[in-house]
Amino acid sequence: MRILVCISHVPDTTSKITFNSDHTEFNQSGVQFIINPYDEIALSRAVELVEGTDGTVTVINVGDASTEPTIRKALAVGATDAVRIDAAPRDAWFVAKQIAHYATEQSYDLILTGRESIDYNGSQVAALVGELLHIPSVSIVKKFDIQDREITIEREIEGGKEVLSTQLPVILGTAEGVTEPKIPNMRGIMSARTKPLQVLPAVDVPTLSTISKYESPAPRGQVAMVDDVEQLVNLLHTKAKVL
């Protein structure tokens, strides 16, 4: 089985997020970057699927050279090789076009992404790649199993879950629950240094959207502790005005 895993290079969740003076660019100074946690789940599941077989796991990232430490970590987790599309990821459409262009001629059996990246939370790439490659796409996947060329998928929906099946190839946006993220061991870290990392130029993609401004969330308001139901109802009615 040949698996492609799409990984994003995102700020660590503990990083302090700031922007430049006119709030048009994200300030990367002092920020530590990691593999997007949902993508890490996808990668770990892919490694499990090929373990003990002649299958391969390729990771692909759209980004400049600064993303290579993140890619090397993915190789340390167990990916066979890696591809970096040498371009800044402008938006989900741009990223999806780069991934689809690369995957078109590669004949992957399975493509995995995270359900979303934790920086922009767009949840668009898996569906866009599926459409561009003319293969099924399923998002918010909590579990999946493959038997021969048939894949059974359990996905989260509002108020419950949905179970469906389809034939490979398919692209899945994985969520927590699929597996536990793998921690690279020393052997994996050492071997990652020599695993192939191919750098390819980006294809031209028309600009469909631009970011005009970033804004930080409003400061959290004062919290009131309420231990009486009657008082809570009164506050919801008179202060919050939701009743």
Token readout for 115 is 């359900």
The pTM (predicted TM-score) of the whole model is 0.87
What is the SS3 string spanning 188-207?
Answer: HHHHHCCCCEEEEECCCCCC
Token readout for 195 is 């695993």
Write out the DSSP string of 130-197.
Answer: HHHHTS-EEEEEEEEEEETTEEEEEEEETTEEEEEEEESSEEEEE-TTS-PPPPP-HHHHHHHTTS-E
The pLDDT assigned to 134 comes to 97
The pLDDT assigned to 95 comes to 97
The pLDDT assigned to 226 comes to 86
The pLDDT assigned to 27 comes to 87
Measured torsion, CA atoms of residues 155, 160, 163, 169, in degrees rounded to the nearest 10? -20
Token readout for 23 is 């709030």
Q: Where are the domains of the chain?
A: 2-211
The pLDDT assigned to 126 comes to 96
The pLDDT assigned to 175 comes to 95
- Whether residue 6 contacts residue 113, with contact meaning beta carbons closer than 8 Å, is answered with yes
Three-state DSSP state, 113:
strand
Tell me the mean pLDDT per 10 residues along the chain, length 243.
96 87 85 95 97 96 96 97 96 96 95 94 94 96 95 93 96 95 92 96 93 84 83 86 80
The pLDDT assigned to 228 comes to 86
The pLDDT assigned to 69 comes to 95
Domain 2-211 part of CATH 1.20.1630.10 = no
